[in-house]
Structure 1
Amino acid sequence: MTGLAILHDRQSREYVDGGDTLMHALDRAVAARGDEIFLDFAGRTFTYRQTKERAVELARGLRSLGVGAGDRVVTQLRNSEDVIFSWFGTNLLGAVWVPVNTAYRGEFLRHQIADSGAEVVICETEYTDGLLSVALPDVRAILVRGAASEWSDGRVHSLDSYRIRIADGDPVEHAAKPSDLTCLLYTSGTTGPSKGCMMSTNYLCNMGYHSNTAVPPLPNERNWTCNPMFHMSALGGIVATLLNQGSISIVEQFSVSSFWSEIERSGATTALLLGPAFNWLANADDTPEMLRCVGQLRAVTGYVAPEVAQVWRTRFGVKHMNRYAYGQTEGVWLTVTPAEDTDLPAGCVGRICEDFDIRAVDDNDVLLPDGQPGEIVFRPKRPNVMFTGYWKRPDETAKVWRNLWMHTGDIGFIQNGYLFFVDRKKDYLRSRGENISSFEVERTYQQHPSVSEAAVYAVGEGVSEGEIKVSVVLRDGASLSCEELCTWSIEHLPYFAVPRYFEIRDELIKTPTGKIQKFNLRAEGISESTWDRVAAGITVRRR
């Protein structure tokens, strides 16, 4: 059988007919491949049957703490099997799983737990002090991985206690529907307090379905990921594996030095990575493990620049770089590009997915012709394939759902059924009468051998178009002056896109999830460390 035929043989037919649920998918996998490995955490393996049993044990424990259908359970956990057991155990009760970034502390942490209304939190032992240091009056129980005796707070219990994992007892049953709220995933909060995106169980199944469409799985294939399990990318990979009844190897965090040894150990033939990892590995030295693994990975998924993707193909023998996708937390897989679709237009982010109607519109939501940039908006053609709104924020939901179209805040255009991303709407620049994509300018700076990160944005008051500023972080050990960077910019950018202001920083202002907060950079404006090209007497002219 071909990979695609196997995909349709194993993957849920319920989804195609109108909806699926994670727990139905788990039951199908247990019935068909119960004794086959589903999860691999650095050699700790769990079959589908064991995964269901552990999830049921934890569900009974949560039920004994009063958790029921509709209640929220927060987890703040590093990648481990307990993330899966907590997630599935929560959903078995009809309750809602709320994964929280492990980097969150203080107000970031308090806001998401309090906003969700969760009464139970499951966390790593070392995060307990951080939880107890913020005001969480509604939280009744904190379950920690490891010993809990050192805390005097009576709400803290060990996750490994008999009370929390109940091996014997009444069955756990919940008549799940595809529309059931299964997860709250909070946005990064780049423009204000983070908002909880409400996700149905079919929404997550739809993510997995299209992941498998983009990279059709082969028999007994093992996927690999280091992506944190509070991110959409990792969730999509796990659900895809569940639907195709394969196996997935998950590590706690990414490491350049151990990546190839992990790929070799796990036997993985597909992998799911976050963007920076592609560059780091492409620039790393050969190792014996890497050389032995050349050609082992047949497909890798994640955003990667075209020139880096070519390195992965030629150096590592990866045949399929699944880099053509577009979406956001509110709607994932708005574009899907099957592996066999190799003749793609340059610069596109994929073929528009059949599940969505997608348009580019002007500021009045009027449809723009093909090829003309505007704000990307979308709406579903099928039920329960995108988020169902922001948790407890109907006004915010209505704001982005103007005229019954979901507004992404991104600029792009459509051509012959393909979507082309241009920039974030709030980051789009205009200089000397020309429209400029900060996204494209930043990509140019990332090609500089001394630059690790770059942010391009407009600053200056009283100027109709603003002035362009670039802030960069240098690679370890690199040395570069602002004037040298300016000279390089003149050679590598259109004349109208060369910034006036340059700044070299130790780090860029980011959210705890690693997204650059340009609104804070814009607010800083022209700082004392900013170098001014005009003041230095350097003029850029049309060539």
Structure 2
Amino acid sequence: MATIEIPPAESILASPPERSSYCPGPRDTVVHALARAEAKNPDRIFIDLAGTKYSYREIDRLSTRLAHALAALGVQHGDRVVSLLDTSIDVFTTWFAANKLGAIWVPINTAYQGEFLRHQISDSGTKLIVCDAHYLERIVAIADQLPEVQLVLSRGPGPFPSCPIAIAPLDEHRGNDEAPLPVVVKPADLATLLYTSGTTGPSKGCMMSHNYLCMQGRQQNRCVQMTAEDVQWTCLPVFHGAALISVLGCLVEGLRCAIWPRFSVSSFWSDLEQAGATKALLMASIFPLVAHAPDTEAMKRYYGRLDMISGVPITPEVRKIWKERFGVRVVSSWSYGQTEGVRLSMVGPDEIPPEGCAGRVADEFEVMIFDADDNPLPDGQVGEIVFRPREPNIMFEGYWKRPEETLKVWRNLWMHTGDLGRLENGYLYFVDRAKDYLRCRGENISSFEIERAFSAHPDIAELAVHAVGRQSGEDEVKATIVLREGATVTHVEMCHWAIEKLPYFAVPRYFEFRAELVKNPTGRVLKYRLREEGVTSGTWDREAAGIEVRRRK
């Protein structure tokens, strides 16, 4: 690498400053962070891919070689490089190689195909795609709708399918030139486009600067506080924002990250044991699945060795199991953010915030609660969560090629999240997605809070609480539920359980058991589809069954 003339990033392993002493963080880039880590500890393991380990020196050299090769193919500053890759070393070499050229890395969810895939590739305006060979047929199927794409580099051997776009083996373009590249990126330059899920319309590319990515890493380390002996483990794909944050946290401090290609209940503890994991970043359904899984010898051996897990959501019941059964010291689910701004709230690993909150407002942001007319609301009142940065380039730079969409959410000098919440004593409480908020029997109802209550039922694998038909002034509430394998609970039993656990006005009128929930390719439940489907032939109606729910005295 070329000599890096940028002040070393300040240590971020200490507790965050008090708001009164807040000062902006260091300006940084992904390229400079990698160069610093390689210069300081070149042989330290950066990435452990299910047992195959790569040091900072190896990843720096591999990405430099690929950067030279991509430059020879015409990739320049500002160009987009799409990757459609399973978890492998090529995810990282493609990312860093693109950024070393000043190009913009565009990771795409490997579940995408058809229109979902076409939209993101076309919208990014890329000329070059790097993908696994088993995804080539998906690209071939939409190739005639991708006029800007000039070349696909396939990770894996041929022969390749016939395609109007040129396909070449990635192995022939990995490069061998390790000569230092000139540093062509600044903190404000774009490093990646990360596309939103698009639950109600086409997904939008969030423009993310180098400084924004590095800030996410610094925040991650304030939450987790790793040392040189720690290993951060995740089984989430790197195109997922949460996994990306995990990697960035290690990158900016030169630490070690272990990434497993998939989650397995049966091998979970042996996977952690193999990696030597001390911290783990997980998601949603993984927490209860592991909490209720049978004992294994690896689980017993690993008792107390996993210091911390983090992710959302984690119920108090599940948190208790992880602490007592597995000896995990810190079980953290206190954070809130979105691709456009991460994290807006958080806590340190030793802080115990009020139950149900999403953490304390992060030092980097101003966060307020607005009413429908953008007037600030006092503490305790529910309204839309809005935010703005205290320094430049620490949130997204807008939606790619969609200035009108950017202006729509960025109005009156505040970024509007579309989420409802409240503030109390500096802590942020997430209430619901605005479009999923319900009103029944004169009461406002959070589908999120009802779902959290239902998650304590031992027979429920996942569920969605939503309105029936178009939401209006008064909604009929339905719970669409996926039961755990072997569960025998009936609609009537589920209804009576809800009556005991929920406020009378929040007990759903309708219940339906399904084999699966309708989701988009990123795994987000499409509640608007469930609302449109309404009362189906498989829906059970509490009122038709003669069960009344009344206020308790």
Instruction: Give 1:528's aligned amino acid.
Output: S
Alignment partner of 2:76 out of 68, 87, 91 = 68
Alignment partner of 2:116 out of 101, 104, 108 = 108
Within 2, Cα distance between the matches of 1:318 and 1:362? 40
Instruction: Give 1:306's aligned amino acid.
Output: P
Instruction: Give 2:351's aligned amino acid.
Output: D
With over 3 angstroms needed to count, the CA separation of the structure-2 counterparts of 1:463 and 1:330, relative to structure 1, is closer
Once the two structures are TM-superposed, the CA of residue 7 in structure 1 deviates from its matched residue by 3.1
Q: Secondary structure in 2 aligned to 1:82? A: helix
Within 2, Cα distance between the matches of 1:18 and 1:293? 37
Within 1, Cα distance between the matches of 2:323 and 2:60? 38
Alignment partner of 1:523 out of 526, 532, 538 = 532
Within 1, Cα distance between the matches of 2:25 and 2:527? 43
5 Å matches for 1:307-386? 307-342=317-352, 344-386=353-395
State the match for 1:117 in structure 2. Answer: 125
Can you list the C-alpha shifts for 1:9-51, whole angstroms capped at 9, x where unaligned? 9xxxxx9554111111111111100111111112211111111
Alignment partner of 2:42 out of 23, 34, 44 = 34
Once the two structures are TM-superposed, the CA of residue 149 in structure 1 deviates from its matched residue by 2.6
Are residues 1:178 and 2:187 paired?
Answer: yes
Alignment partner of 1:445 out of 450, 454, 458 = 454
State the match for 2:146 in structure 1. Answer: 136
Q: Work out whether residues 12 and 222 of structure 2, in 8 Å CA contact, stay in contact via their aligned partners in 1.
A: no
With over 3 angstroms needed to count, the CA separation of the structure-2 counterparts of 1:533 and 1:199, relative to structure 1, is same
Q: Work out whether residues 148 and 156 of structure 1, in 8 Å CA contact, stay in contact via their aligned partners in 2.
A: no
Once the two structures are TM-superposed, the CA of residue 487 in structure 1 deviates from its matched residue by 2.0
State the match for 2:509 in structure 1. Answer: 500
With over 3 angstroms needed to count, the CA separation of the structure-2 counterparts of 1:118 and 1:463, relative to structure 1, is closer
Q: Work out whether residues 6 and 219 of structure 1, in 8 Å CA contact, stay in contact via their aligned partners in 2.
A: no
What RMSD in Å do the two structures reach over aligned CA positions?
1.7
With over 3 angstroms needed to count, the CA separation of the structure-2 counterparts of 1:414 and 1:8, relative to structure 1, is closer
Alignment partner of 2:258 out of 232, 239, 249 = 249
Q: Work out whether residues 421 and 432 of structure 2, in 8 Å CA contact, stay in contact via their aligned partners in 1.
A: yes
Q: Work out whether residues 317 and 456 of structure 2, in 8 Å CA contact, stay in contact via their aligned partners in 1.
A: no
State the match for 2:316 in structure 1. Answer: 306
Can you list the C-alpha shifts for 1:328-386, whole angstroms capped at 9, x where unaligned? 010011012011222x1221110101110100110001000111111100000011110
Can you list the C-alpha shifts for 1:457-515, whole angstroms capped at 9, x where unaligned? 11246963121111111111222332222222212211111111111112111111111
With over 3 angstroms needed to count, the CA separation of the structure-2 counterparts of 1:6 and 1:468, relative to structure 1, is closer
Q: Secondary structure in 2 aligned to 1:7? A: coil
Gaps of 5+ in 2: 1-9, 16-22
Stretches (4+) displaced over 4 A: 15-18, 460-463
Q: Secondary structure in 2 aligned to 1:238? A: helix
State the match for 1:12 in structure 2. Answer: none
Within 1, Cα distance between the matches of 2:331 and 2:11? 21
5 Å matches for 1:404-443? 404-443=413-452
Once the two structures are TM-superposed, the CA of residue 178 in structure 1 deviates from its matched residue by 0.7
Once the two structures are TM-superposed, the CA of residue 105 in structure 1 deviates from its matched residue by 0.7
Alignment partner of 2:166 out of 155, 158, 161 = 155
Within 2, Cα distance between the matches of 1:194 and 1:328? 14
Once the two structures are TM-superposed, the CA of residue 220 in structure 1 deviates from its matched residue by 2.7
With over 3 angstroms needed to count, the CA separation of the structure-2 counterparts of 1:194 and 1:446, relative to structure 1, is same
Instruction: Give the stretch that moved more between structures: 192-201 or 210-219.
Output: 210-219
Are residues 1:44 and 2:52 paired?
Answer: yes
Within 2, Cα distance between the matches of 1:518 and 1:50? 45
State the match for 2:96 in structure 1. Answer: 88
With over 3 angstroms needed to count, the CA separation of the structure-2 counterparts of 1:538 and 1:109, relative to structure 1, is same
Q: Secondary structure in 1 aligned to 2:285? A: helix
State the match for 1:470 in structure 2. Answer: 479
State the match for 2:7 in structure 1. Answer: none
With over 3 angstroms needed to count, the CA separation of the structure-2 counterparts of 1:169 and 1:22, relative to structure 1, is closer
State the match for 2:199 in structure 1. Answer: 190
Once the two structures are TM-superposed, the CA of residue 524 in structure 1 deviates from its matched residue by 1.1
Within 2, Cα distance between the matches of 1:462 and 1:138? 41
Q: Work out whether residues 322 and 339 of structure 1, in 8 Å CA contact, stay in contact via their aligned partners in 2.
A: yes
Give percent identity, aligned residues only: 52
Within 1, Cα distance between the matches of 2:117 and 2:160? 22
Q: Work out whether residues 119 and 138 of structure 1, in 8 Å CA contact, stay in contact via their aligned partners in 2.
A: yes
Q: Secondary structure in 1 aligned to 2:228? A: coil
Within 1, Cα distance between the matches of 2:195 and 2:548? 45
Can you list the C-alpha shifts for 1:220-263, whole angstroms capped at 9, x where unaligned? 32111111110111111101101121111111111111211111
Within 1, Cα distance between the matches of 2:342 and 2:109? 19
Q: Secondary structure in 1 aligned to 2:407? A: helix
Q: Work out whether residues 470 and 531 of structure 2, in 8 Å CA contact, stay in contact via their aligned partners in 1.
A: no
Once the two structures are TM-superposed, the CA of residue 169 in structure 1 deviates from its matched residue by 6.5
Are residues 1:21 and 2:37 paired?
Answer: no
Once the two structures are TM-superposed, the CA of residue 535 in structure 1 deviates from its matched residue by 1.8
Q: How many equivalent pairs are there?
A: 532
Alignment partner of 1:235 out of 241, 244, 251 = 244
Within 1, Cα distance between the matches of 2:382 and 2:225? 32
Within 2, Cα distance between the matches of 1:322 and 1:106? 37
With over 3 angstroms needed to count, the CA separation of the structure-2 counterparts of 1:458 and 1:158, relative to structure 1, is same
State the match for 2:13 in structure 1. Answer: 7
Within 1, Cα distance between the matches of 2:310 and 2:509? 37
Q: Secondary structure in 2 aligned to 1:542? A: coil
Are residues 1:145 and 2:155 paired?
Answer: yes
With over 3 angstroms needed to count, the CA separation of the structure-2 counterparts of 1:336 and 1:462, relative to structure 1, is closer
Instruction: Give 2:62's aligned amino acid.
Output: R
With over 3 angstroms needed to count, the CA separation of the structure-2 counterparts of 1:139 and 1:462, relative to structure 1, is closer
Instruction: Give the stretch that moved more between structures: 360-369 or 492-501.
Output: 492-501
Q: Work out whether residues 6 and 217 of structure 1, in 8 Å CA contact, stay in contact via their aligned partners in 2.
A: no
Within 2, Cα distance between the matches of 1:257 and 1:345? 33
Instruction: Give the stretch that moved more between structures: 34-43 or 231-240.
Output: 34-43
Within 2, Cα distance between the matches of 1:418 and 1:36? 38
TM-score of the aligned structures, taking structure 2 as reference length: 0.93
